[in-house]
Structure 1
């Protein structure tokens, strides 16, 4: 049995941030720049408070079965909630989207590389 790789995106909106919390997030904005976003096992947070109060966590997880994506999504949501709660950041409208990379369509380069293997 092969291992499946899952990418889980957890999105939400900061809610009720104090002036100090907002200043703290703004000070750390370079670490959480959306242009540097990556899917990681521990989760990567990105946001742009100057534009809007929305945030995105990106998680990478794995499993053996297709159904394991549901548990991976739950773990990602809990990790995001824990991170926010531990820091006292209010949030709302939390939603998740998960993708099983073994089911993702191949891009043009990937199709070309696969075709080269069969020649």
Structure 2
């Protein structure tokens, strides 16, 4: 584990395989065979050399909120599908479900 410092413009996960290969070839000579590696292998090798550990499987801080929003969406969809609901009410429910979907996606991305 050498003391290698990299000034990256974006996170490793967001970089393309070509950018990662160039990074390894030019700045991290410890890694051999970079030209034949795919993106996942390159990221794994870079993290190994730099001593970065993955923290996967961590619970989202918004998980409870997301689940409650999804339950609300399910109720709204059931109400929308019921007989005797006016067109105006269906439109309102559809828009509310759409907003909740956007919020859940944003919360999931933020975590």
TM-score by length of 2: 0.25
Larger radius of gyration: 2
Which has the larger share of helix?
A: 2
Which has the larger share of strand?
A: 1
